[in-house]
A and B are shown apart, each in its own frame.
Chain A
């Protein structure tokens, strides 16, 4: 099924918010193609089995609740300690809206 083109890699990279160079597109396209062709093998076995439920997790997961009590978390200073940029006790981020918005 797969036949990954340079354009498709560029699209995937865009979806994943991942800048890629032209050189990387040339390398990744054939590599992703080989990988996806190989992993597509999973379709073979499932096609022959009836009604196999999916497993997303090895152990059964249930929601875990705790009492709604105030607990010591990170201080503001600790939370901001790794921030690339901070201002007035907040994370400073690049603009999130375009000019026209």
Chain B
């Protein structure tokens, strides 16, 4: 199950960190309400993304340590363990139909990052 549909569910915005905490074109992990969220600063595209930090393949908490990039224009992240790659837009696994992760909307205000999490 994945969704980035922030209209259907009611969102609460949680402060995660400062923009400088996430390296350019890289990721970092924030602990929000006991949940691990991977945040990506895709500065080459000027975009921010957030997903589950847990990779569904072997339940490893490492998606934030993965490398980001794109496939035919679609932004993606590769889990460092076995290189399953996930779309940063939809959360769909691009090289294995059996997996998907959650994605979350990101808001940047006064150099602070907020993550929108549904109720």
**A and B: interacting chains:** no
Binding site for A on B (CB under 8 A): none
A binding-site residues for B, Cβ under 8 Å: none
